[in-house]
Structure 1
């Protein structure tokens, strides 16, 4: 009986401490990242400043075609996040601003601080889920699905977004299509847009061919 109890306690202890080798792994930005993140900075050179980031104090630059700006706190900007599986973004939308259809590798959780947004996503069954959000509302966007936010209010909007990764990736549908070197004729075929429209959008977003 005692042996069984000791075995169970040993198993519980081993499970609770599994894979915890270091307290932290501050990213060494002098080395290239790999599939699992950055190599660890020498612990003897780590300071409290590695665990503090002030980059979200400032508003994102909304002087662009989407009237949207984002300041990111990912591992490349905030190396203390390396290996932590979490990150944040400050999203600013001017009046009429939009975060165009985009996707990430992981789930996104957004909380609206100021303004009024309509936000939503489209699932793999092509079902659209969208709703008007006001101050204090939160919305979750499942991983990999295309989603968006649009400022439908009369004032600028501010949201903070968290991710289940220190480097979640970001692929914007519009720039993915039109800021590349794919031949315009090929994009015409895969999108059913006419060639003139494809070339116009490539010119706007910086694509070629």
Structure 2
């Protein structure tokens, strides 16, 4: 009986260990300002000498400047990660400003390393995310100014400007480097390209349709 108790206790401890390592580790010092010029490659950025750290390492200016939305999707994501704000390094957080022209869309995408909490500052947006297989359930809502919506880590999500005016959103993400995979870009714009035979069968259409889509990426 005691052996079974010990075994169950060990399994429980190991389970908690797995949970603990499922997220970015807590920093072991006050800060670890990213040394963007360091040749050392680590999971993140290596630390600048603390004695060389300045207030500007913790400052990012320009979040008030709209992003360039002159592109086919009529939106622009302007990130603030450790690459733009070195003082964020090891803190496990990031932000982004998202600008939308009327009809602009932040296309279906996901963040492999972060959940996202999104606040609509101006405008009206249709937002949503899709749950995993086999349900593939769409969770969607129309947001108005001041609304907050959460996109779970790793799930495909999107935003679409429904209004006749520009829209603006601010995202906070639970990783200093959340990453982004835009579904259309990944599937139709990979380097090298995914075989058109694979895409034709996956999307259950003919090669002409696939070739037409591929030409846009």
Above 0.5 in TM-score?
yes
Q: 1:200 to 1:35 in 2, by over 3 A?
A: farther
| RMSD across aligned positions (CA) | 1.7
Establish whether residue 149 from structure 1 lines up as the match of residue 159 from structure 2: yes
1:164 alignment partner in structure 2:
174
Q: Find the residue that maps to 1:41 and give its secondary structure.
A: coil
Shift of 1:33: 7.4
Q: 1:32 to 1:140 in 2, by over 3 A?
A: farther
Q: 1:40 to 1:177 in 2, by over 3 A?
A: same
Asked if the contact 1:98/1:151 (under 8 Å) is kept, the reply is yes
1:119 alignment partner in structure 2:
127
Establish whether residue 192 from structure 1 lines up as the match of residue 204 from structure 2: yes
1:173 alignment partner in structure 2:
183
Asked if the contact 1:68/1:98 (under 8 Å) is kept, the reply is yes
Counterparts of 1:88 and 1:32 in 2: how far apart (Å)?
A: 26
2:106 alignment partner in structure 1:
99
2:14 alignment partner in structure 1:
none
In structure 1, the gaps of 5 or more residues are 1-17
2:3 alignment partner in structure 1:
none
Q: TM-score with structure 2 length normalisation?
A: 0.82
Q: 1:155 to 1:102 in 2, by over 3 A?
A: same
Per-residue deviation, residues 73-94 of structure 1 (Å, max 9, x unmatched): 0111111111001100000010
Counterparts of 1:55 and 1:194 in 2: how far apart (Å)?
A: 46
